[in-house]
Structure 1
Amino acid sequence: MSETDIKVHDNQDESRLEIKADGLFAVAEYEITGDVIAFTHTLVPKEFGGRGYGTMLAAACIEKARKENLKVLPECSFIHAYMARHPETQSLAHSSVQF
């Protein structure tokens, strides 16, 4: 499988976004309450380092929030750091979030 074939899958049954490659999973777990999506835990295997999968996963988290008209509560440091580095995403942040 080439890296251009890598896609993020929204596994709604497990409440997580996933990337599967080389038999490994990168995941961003979420909880939706009302109009807020909280990203509670993100795991990107070290074997995925340098491939851009973490960025792809974080961008998919923001896109899910945007498409579903949800405010983002980045409880995990990975998504918080992504949003801090990408000011264009910060308008989606829940009012309690500081960058």
Structure 2
Amino acid sequence: MPEVTKNNALQRYEIHEDGQLLGFAAYRDLPDGVVELPHTVVEPAYEGRGVGSALIKAVLADIRADGHRVLATCRFVAGYLDRHPEYADLRATRQAV
């Protein structure tokens, strides 16, 4: 089972399984409790296996738990938010930043 951790030193959330890095989502803390997600990477060997979706689901849960909102400048994250209306309350706009 993959595990998602927040790596503050590298400003990214990482997804690992059995000690292997499967991918990551970079983040940047912005003013007013907004977290920008500008870039998501899944290692090529793990693409198409739901790794990116599992990663972003965990990232959004963490951001929600902290009471923050998301500025999705990464196309993958923006697409995920579009497909999952249950996260609409987390979406920040660039004007709000």
Indicate the TM-score class for this superposition, using the shorter chain for normalisation. 0.7 to 0.9
Is 1:31 matched with 2:12?
A: no
Q: Is the 8 A contact 2:39 2:74 kept in 1?
A: yes
CA distance in 2, matches of 1:51, 1:95: 30
Match of 2:79 in 1: 81
3-state SS of 1:81 partner: helix
Match of 1:18 in 2: 14
Deviation at 1:96, TM superposition (A): 4.2
CA distance in 1, matches of 2:11, 2:71: 15
Is 1:93 matched with 2:91?
A: yes
Match of 1:9 in 2: 5
Identity %: 32
* Gap regions ≥5 residues in structure 1: none
CA distance in 2, matches of 1:59, 1:40: 16
Deviation at 1:53, TM superposition (A): 1.0
When normalised by structure 2's length, the TM-score is 0.85
* Gap regions ≥5 residues in structure 2: none
When normalised by structure 1's length, the TM-score is 0.83
Amino acid paired to 1:61: V
3-state SS of 1:8 partner: strand
Extract structure 1 runs of 4+ deviating beyond 4 A: none
Amino acid paired to 2:73: E
Amino acid paired to 1:94: A
Q: Which moved more, 1:65-74 or 1:19-28?
A: 19-28
Deviation at 1:45, TM superposition (A): 1.7
Is 1:43 matched with 2:45?
A: no
